[in-house]
């Protein structure tokens, strides 16, 4: 397995459809790819304490989170035959309905791309130290808990 460099996965605010499209489009020239898998995590308008969540404010200790993300990425590359693996996670405020997580895997064949994408999302939810404060209309908040 070749070593990959530590990549900054963090995007301030929501991940825009234009950003997602640009990242996908950049792979059109890579002729060894036969399949991609994409996961988009969207902020839900859940009801908490009788109020509808208006957004999530994400925060983390970036240096530590990037080291952990690098380890997860290396593990996934070691487990699956991938050509590419990209992860982008929001920091700051993401309103309901907007995208806060974008995972994009590519492989010669579809199955490794699909399996690696699913594994990556589960590892991120379980291991990446990113915290989400669900914001409510009355200016209160609830700390988000990841339900797998």
CATH number, residue 88? 3.90.1170.40
Tell me the pairing of strands 84-95 and 10-12. Answer: parallel
**Structural domain range at position 70:** 10-25+34-143
Please check whether residue 5 lies inside any domain of the structure: no
Scan for tokens 């009801």, then name that residue: 47
Please check whether residue 1 lies inside any domain of the structure: no
Sign of the CA dihedral running 8, 120, 117, 61: negative
Please check whether residue 21 lies inside any domain of the structure: yes
Measured distance CA(115)–CA(92) in Å, rounded: 29
> Could you give the number of structural domains in the chain?
1
pLDDT digits (tens, 9 = 90+) for 104-145: 999 999 999 999 999 999 999 999 999 999 999 999 999 987
Please check whether residue 98 lies inside any domain of the structure: yes
Please check whether residue 3 lies inside any domain of the structure: no
Please check whether residue 148 lies inside any domain of the structure: no
pLDDT at 120: 98
Residues of the chain under the 50 pLDDT cut = 1-2
For the whole prediction, is pTM greater than 0.85? yes
């Amino acid at each position: 397995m070749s070593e990959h460099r530590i990549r900054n996965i963090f995007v301030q605010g929501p991940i825009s459809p234009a950003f997602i499209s640009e990242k996908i489009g950049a792979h059109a020239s890579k002729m060894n790819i036969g399949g991609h898998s994409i996961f988009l995590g969207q902020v839900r308008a859940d009801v908490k304490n009788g109020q509808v969540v208006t957004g999530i404010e994400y925060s983390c200790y970036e240096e530590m989170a990037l080291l952990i993300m690098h380890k997860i990425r290396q593990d996934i590359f070691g487990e699956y035959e991938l050509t590419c693996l990209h992860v982008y996670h929001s920091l700051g405020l993401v309103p309901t309905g907007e995208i806060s997580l974008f995972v994009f895997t590519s492989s010669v064949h579809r199955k490794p791309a699909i399996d690696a994408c699913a594994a990556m999302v589960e590892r991120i939810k379980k291991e990446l130290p990113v915290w989400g404060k669900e914001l409510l209309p009355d200016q209160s908040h609830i700390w988000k808990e990841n339900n797998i």
